[in-house]
């Protein structure tokens, strides 16, 4: 026996959450073929199928692109500091993909490491993630190459798995998730089923071997000319979490804020002295791969990538993680071969 | 046309007229088309030409690492070649160091992009060699600005609400800037932090400041290649902003950026006949 909810009942349930004044976010179409996680204003706008993945990720709901840390005010020769209020509102993210939800425990490592990040911590507590297992994949998906898959439960509070065109199986994974659904499901004698996910695109073990020995390698140059150096890959990524802290204000005072940042920007590593340790895009691409597949695993025992493929899907020139890892995989298979194809 | 293109690239590289050919490639027949850099004549067969060649490749001409390779050939469509004129006029490239391969274009995408629907330059005019045959279609100015006209016909409050909704999605990934062939500033104003001029925050204030400043910096320069809007991950139609300034330049001065290499750039030239007196 399992728990199930009819799709129309789910939509009605979302409507009731909104009516109770809860903050709910989910996939919303913002243009032809473009779906983004957005705060929902009505349950009708919630999109549960007909697309592979949203352009953005759910990380914005626990790690917003812009966050006020504290305000400062000049009072004569004194500076007054005013803490920004911590978030208080509960929020529900519905229709997350497993590759989005699985990124949350990955983000936890860094935000809970050392001095815990209070606002991140609070947002995590206040957020309930209702994930929808994937039935469809595209060429960019590579979760299965990283030991994840279309019904990965990590990071989710509830997993919805389609039983048929009208019904989802409801699998609650935490008490927070159970509380949301427990009085709204019916008994079902069928379970949701889905496929095995996208085919494996590269060999993670080969990648590990390669990174151990190839900090200097022509492969990093392979895509450097093509890369435009924008931050679309990092900002669409569920696991990228680099940020910049800046003061914005005037002579009376202002705000210290935390904004998303990307290692693909030339400015990212520019020192105040004018020195820049990463002057070339090849070094920046290498950094992104090393951070995700060597530095982070070494430090936290977890991969800083869930295989969602958003970095490629959103890339203006169709780069991202997968093409680089495929090129590395190809090199590992044929160690004696010629240098990689012209980018 | 593909064969002619590959043959030309092969010849240019073999004769060492250029060191790199910037064209289009495709990792698989169904895969997306992407910019491709060919440095060896034998790799020329990787070049493709089809209705998915969206990128304006002239953006790479001003990049340090591409320049370091030596003289370049670049594959352009009619819309793209206008940026070469602007770059040349702004002293950003030496025209004789670039071999321009013009491709006759029937439009990109299926159905064509909005810019292709109103294109009046299917056949490049300024290329060193042009491949393909087609006749240009005259597009009256009104038609080119039809989408803008329709937008401007809406009441001001509605337009403001539109921009507030659209720009609220901007995360400042700067794909619009990085893909733009005319955003070649070594240090963009939004990256200046001593002092900071524009908030780096992706708030409504910071986003308005960024996009308005960028549109103004492109006034009289933007050639409407539309790359900024095409690559925007969150689907903001930035061409509306750029088009409104382009139309102002066209209406007030009969100027269209990149249209005629003999005409001096609008912002960067003056005339004693100007109807404003401050210039005299």
Angle at B84 between CA B83 and CA B89, to 5 degrees: 95
* Distance to chain A for B34, nearest Cα, Å: 5
How far is the C-alpha of B90 from the C-alpha of B122, rounded, in Å? Answer: 25
How far is the C-alpha of A324 from the C-alpha of A227, rounded, in Å? Answer: 12
CA B263 remoteness from chain centre: 19
Surface-to-core class of residue A15, CB atoms within 10 Å of its CB (0-12 exposed, 13-18 middle, 19+ buried): middle
Residue B172 to residue A229, Cβ atoms within 8 A: no
Query: What digits encode the pLDDT tens for the residues B218-237?
Result: 999 999 999 999 999 999 99
> Which pLDDT belongs to residue A329?
85
Beta bridge partners of A233: none
Query: What digits encode the pLDDT tens for the residues A124-163?
Result: 999 999 999 999 999 999 999 999 999 999 999 999 999 9
Spatial contact of A308 and A97, defined as CB atoms under 8 Å apart: yes
For residue A157, the 8-state DSSP code is: S
Phi/psi of residue B269, nearest 5 degrees = -145, 165
Can you give A273-298 as a three-state secondary structure string?
Answer: CCCCCCCCHHHHHHHHHHHHHHHHHH
B38 touches chain A (CB under 8 A): yes
Q: Taking CB atoms and an 8 Å cutoff, what residues of chain B touch A66?
A: 201-203, 206
Spatial contact of B6 and B47, defined as CB atoms under 8 Å apart: yes
> Which pLDDT belongs to residue B135?
73
How far is the C-alpha of B149 from the C-alpha of B143, rounded, in Å? Answer: 9
Smallest Cα–Cα separation from A305: which of A131, A129, A141, A61? A141
Query: What digits encode the pLDDT tens for the residues B29-70?
Result: 888 999 999 999 999 999 999 999 999 999 999 999 999 999
Tokens of A189: 């004698």
> Which pLDDT belongs to residue A340?
53
How far is the C-alpha of B149 from the C-alpha of A339, rounded, in Å? Answer: 52
Spatial contact of A331 and A210, defined as CB atoms under 8 Å apart: yes
Please give the model's pTM, rounded to 2 decimal places: 0.94
Query: What digits encode the pLDDT tens for the residues B77-116?
Result: 999 999 999 999 999 999 999 999 999 999 999 888 989 9
Q: Does residue A343 have a pLDDT over 80?
A: no
pLDDT tier for residue A201 given thresholds of 50, 70 and 90: confident
Instruction: Residue window 2-31, chain B: list those with CB within 8 Å of chain A.
Output: 27, 31
Beta bridge partners of B41: none
B201 touches chain A (CB under 8 A): yes
Residue B234 to residue A56, Cβ atoms within 8 A: yes
Q: Does residue A205 have a pLDDT over 90?
A: no
Q: Which is more confidently placed, A51 or B268?
A: A51
Q: Does residue B151 have a pLDDT over 80?
A: yes
Which residues have a Cβ under 8 Å from the Cβ of B142 and sit 6 or more positions away?
A: B149
Residue A318 to residue B177, Cβ atoms within 8 A: no
- In the three-class reduction of DSSP (H, G, I as helix; E, B as strand; rest coil), residue B122 is classed as coil
pLDDT tier for residue A332 given thresholds of 50, 70 and 90: confident
What number is the average pLDDT over the span B161-188?
A: 96
**Bridging pattern class, strands B98-103 and B129-131:** parallel
What number is the average pLDDT over the span A323-340?
A: 72
What number is the average pLDDT over the span A222-226?
A: 92
Other C-beta atoms closer than 10 Å to the C-beta of B38 total 25
How far is the C-alpha of B37 from the C-alpha of A24, rounded, in Å? Answer: 45
pLDDT tier for residue B273 given thresholds of 50, 70 and 90: confident
Spatial contact of A226 and B35, defined as CB atoms under 8 Å apart: yes
* Distance to chain B for A104, nearest Cα, Å: 20
Residue with tokens 């991202």: A320
> Which pLDDT belongs to residue B280?
67
% of chain A at pLDDT higher than 90:
85
pLDDT tier for residue A215 given thresholds of 50, 70 and 90: very high
Which residues have a Cβ under 8 Å from the Cβ of B84 and sit 6 or more positions away?
A: B58, B61, B74, B76, B93, B95, B98, B100, B126, B258
> Which pLDDT belongs to residue B153?
97
- In the three-class reduction of DSSP (H, G, I as helix; E, B as strand; rest coil), residue A9 is classed as helix
A267 closest CB neighbour out of B34, B191, B201: B191
Which residues have a Cβ under 8 Å from the Cβ of B11 and sit 6 or more positions away?
A: B17, B41
Instruction: Residue window 12-41, chain A: list those with CB within 8 Å of chain B.
Output: 30-31, 34, 36, 38
Q: In what order do the strands lie in the sheet with B20-26?
A: B33-38, B20-26, B72-76, B98-103, B129-131
Q: Does residue A341 have a pLDDT over 70?
A: no
Residue A229 to residue B199, Cβ atoms within 8 A: no
User: What's chain A's average pLDDT?
Assistant: 93
Smallest Cα–Cα separation from A135: which of A76, A198, A225, A189? A198
Tokens of A200: 């494996």
Residue B203 to residue A316, Cβ atoms within 8 A: no
> Which pLDDT belongs to residue B12?
98
> Which pLDDT belongs to residue B134?
74
Smallest Cα–Cα separation from A60: which of B82, B173, B126, B114? B173
């Amino acid at each position: 026996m399992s728990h199930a909810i009819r799709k129309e009942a789910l939509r009605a349930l979302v409507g009731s959450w909104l009516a109770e004044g809860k903050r709910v976010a989910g996939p919303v179409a913002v243009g032809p073929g473009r779906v983004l996680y957005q705060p929902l204003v009505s349950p009708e706008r919630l999109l549960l199928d007909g697309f592979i993945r949203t352009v953005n990720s759910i990380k914005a709901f626990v790690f917003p692109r812009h966050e006020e840390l504290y305000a400062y005010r000049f009072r004569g020769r004194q500076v007054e500091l005013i803490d920004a209020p911590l978030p208080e509102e509960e929020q529900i993210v519905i229709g997350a993909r497993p590759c989005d939800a699985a990124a949350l425990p990955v983000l936890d490592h860094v935000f809970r490491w050392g001095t815990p990040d209070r606002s991140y911590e609070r947002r995590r507590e206040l957020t309930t993630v209702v994930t929808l297992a994937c039935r469809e994949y595209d060429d960019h998906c590579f979760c299965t190459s990283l030991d994840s898959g279309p019904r990965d439960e990590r990071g989710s509070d509830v997993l919805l798995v389609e039983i048929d065109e009208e019904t989802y199986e409801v699998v609650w994974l935490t008490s927070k998730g159970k509380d949301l659904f427990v009085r709204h499901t019916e008994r079902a004698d069928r379970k949701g089923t889905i496929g095995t996910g996208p085919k494996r695109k590269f060999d993670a073990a080969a990648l590990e071997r390669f990174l151990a020995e190839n900090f200097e390698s022509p492969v990093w140059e392979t895509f450097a000319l093509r890369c435009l150096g924008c931050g679309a890959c990092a900002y669409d990524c569920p696991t990228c979490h680099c940020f910049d802290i800046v003061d914005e204000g005037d002579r009376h005072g202002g705000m210290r804020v935390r904004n998303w940042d990307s290692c693909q920007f030339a400015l990212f590593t520019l020192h105040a002295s004018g020195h820049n340790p990463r002057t070339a895009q090849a070094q920046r691409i290498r950094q992104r791969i090393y951070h995700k597949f060597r530095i982070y695993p070494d430090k936290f025992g977890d991969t800083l990538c869930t295989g969602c493929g958003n970095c490629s899907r959103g890339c203006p020139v169709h780069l991202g993680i997968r093409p680089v890892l495929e090129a590395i995989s190809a090199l590992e298979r044929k160690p004696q071969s010629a240098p990689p194809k012209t980018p | 046309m593909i064969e002619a293109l590959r043959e030309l690239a092969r010849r240019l590289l073999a004769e060492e007229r250029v060191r790199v050919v910037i064209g289009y490639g495709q990792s698989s027949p169904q895969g997306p088309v992407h910019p491709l850099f060919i440095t060896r004549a034998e790799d020329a067969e990787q070049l493709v030409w089809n209705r998915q060649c969206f990128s304006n490749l002239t953006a790479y001409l001003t990049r340090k690492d591409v320049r370091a390779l030596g003289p370049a050939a670049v594959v352009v469509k009619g819309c793209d070649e206008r940026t070469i004129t602007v770059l040349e006029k702004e002293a950003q490239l030496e025209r004789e160091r670039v071999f321009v391969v013009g491709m006759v274009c029937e439009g990109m995408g299926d159905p064509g992009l909005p810019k292709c629907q109103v294109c009046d330059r299917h056949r490049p005019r300024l290329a060193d060699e042009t491949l393909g045959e087609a006749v240009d279609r005259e597009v009256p100015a009104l038609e080119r600005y039809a989408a803008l006209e329709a937008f401007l016909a809406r009441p001001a409050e509605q337009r403001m609400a539109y921009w507030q909704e659209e720009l609220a999605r901007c995360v400042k990934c700067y794909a619009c800037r990085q893909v733009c062939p005319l955003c070649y500033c070594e240090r963009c104003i939004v990256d200046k932090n001593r002092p900071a001029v524009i908030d780096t925050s992706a708030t409504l204030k910071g986003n308005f400041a960024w996009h308005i400043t960028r549109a103004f910096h492109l006034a009289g320069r933007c050639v409407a290649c539309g790359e900024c809007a095409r690559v925007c991950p969150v689907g903001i139609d930035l061409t509306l902003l750029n088009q409104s300034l382009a139309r102002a330049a066209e209406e007030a001065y009969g100027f269209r950026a990149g249209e005629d290499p003999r005409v001096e750039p609008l912002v960067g030239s003056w005339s004693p006949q100007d109807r404003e007196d401050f210039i005299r």
